[in-house]
Amino acid sequence: MGEPHELTMLEQAAAVRDGSLSPTELARHYLGRIERLNDAVGAYVTVTPERAAEDARRAERRLAAGGVLPPLLGVPVPVKDLTPVAGVRWTAGSAVFADRIAESGTHVVDLLRAAGTVLLGKTNTPEFGLPAYTEGRIAPPARSPFDMELMAGGSSGGAAAAVAAGLAPAAHGNDGGGSIRIPASCCGVVGLKPSRGRVSPAPFGDPTGLAVAGPIARNVRDTAALLDVMAGPVPGEPVSVAASETSFLEWCEREPRRLRIGRWARPDVDVPVDPVVLAAYERTSVLLAGLGHEVVDVEQPLGPGDHGSFDPVWEVMALLAPVPAGREGELMPLTRWLRERGRAASGERFARALGAMQAVGRKFAAAVAPFDAVLTPTLAQLPQPVGALRDDADPVGDFAAQYAFTPFTGAWNIAGLPAVSLPVEWTDGGLPIGMMLGAAHGAEGPLLALAAQVEAAAPWRERRPSGW
């Protein structure tokens, strides 16, 4: 069988079911790897060995009892530290909350537990999930396992680094402007941002509709299987998506018909795209055409001013973390700058910004609608060195550098449409170059079918970092 971490998430689930791998053995294996590697990788901010042992024993009792078993029984799936788990440390990436213990969890955490998963710990995230890098004061920076001098991206950087380094088979993340897809691209894994309403944020609310939880995994089938577990509305959701009669995992077994795929590689802001990224985008277009699909060039649907509707909304969203009085000065400079700008916004300005952002979302969705899927690069640049984007002395420059790095991801959040980053391309030096496929609202099934077809044509399973 080889080492347990060499198995995919679904292979681990099958091994647990047939008795060739015990949940306790699997948890111990990952905890040992975390102990050896985490300080260098920066994947976990909190490790929960006692909780992992308890969850593994619970899984073994379920196995012994027989009957219908949950789909991921005994398989480790960590939770990003923006999301609380009852009884577990919950920092939200901030030193202000370094010692906070969550009193309750969330709907998606309940679904992961019901699926039989084992909690190894909470994965690293930047303060309140605001930046496109995972570098803060609460833990070492999250790094790409394919080059430890390079950043893992953010804000689900710890989750992507954990999966890429073999410290988890798959992971929970969330994405409000690219936070699943950015680190997936930097770390050479698959990251899916679901449609708005596909995964409930309950009991929390999101007045903007930007953020959604989603899966990060090493391959498309694991990504689909984890989405099957995480998906599902609760009563009263402002936006929800009808459940598919076909599971997302089953969609991966379907051969797509001939699809009409739009593509663009020009950002909606005036920033350059690395020629290496553009060459990878062209090769991916050739791959899609070779699979029998019609690939159509499309003008960038958004203008330079459109993306700016996102900024005032993001600034107000930065205020939602309830920082205790007198501790604002302990926050990261970027966080303080965003919160100061958000605090200065009037209710009228925020309402107008939300309306403008929704208009941009409709414009973007209308451009996507004529196509079965859309191809763009995930990022405009290759993974950057740790610290290359962060600038504590100049938050304005920091924010601009993030825009230049990630100009393709945010529009999918504004419109609430699904998008997946695939590690289909690599540099000659072995660095991942994510390519992004997106689709219409609620079309995760066909999107995953196409992604699985791409993976079969250009497999990346053997692309592993040194020390794997």
Catalytic positions: 80, 155, 179
What are the tokens at 247? 């599971």
Task: Give the C-alpha separation, 146 to 383, whole Å.
Answer: 10
Give the residue from 156, 228, 226, 232 showing the smallest Cα distance to 197.
232
Exposed/middle/buried for residue 19 (C-beta within 10 Å: 0-12, 13-18, 19+):
exposed
Tell me how far CA of residue 263 lies from CA of 349, 368, 438, in angstroms. Answer: 34, 10, 10
| DSSP three-state, residue 180 | coil
Task: Give the C-alpha separation, 431 to 144, whole Å.
Answer: 9
For strand 121-123 and strand 79-80, is the pairing parallel, antiparallel, or unpaired? parallel
> Between vectors from CA 54 to CA 53 and to CA 58, what angle results, nearest 5°?
115
Alpha-carbon dihedral sign for residues 77, 190, 127, 197: negative
What are the tokens at 453? 């077809």
The dihedral formed by the CA atoms of 19, 21, 22 and 23, expressed in degrees to the nearest 10:
-120
Give, as one character, the DSSP assignment of residue 447: H
Phi (first) and psi of residue 367, to 5 degrees: -70, -30
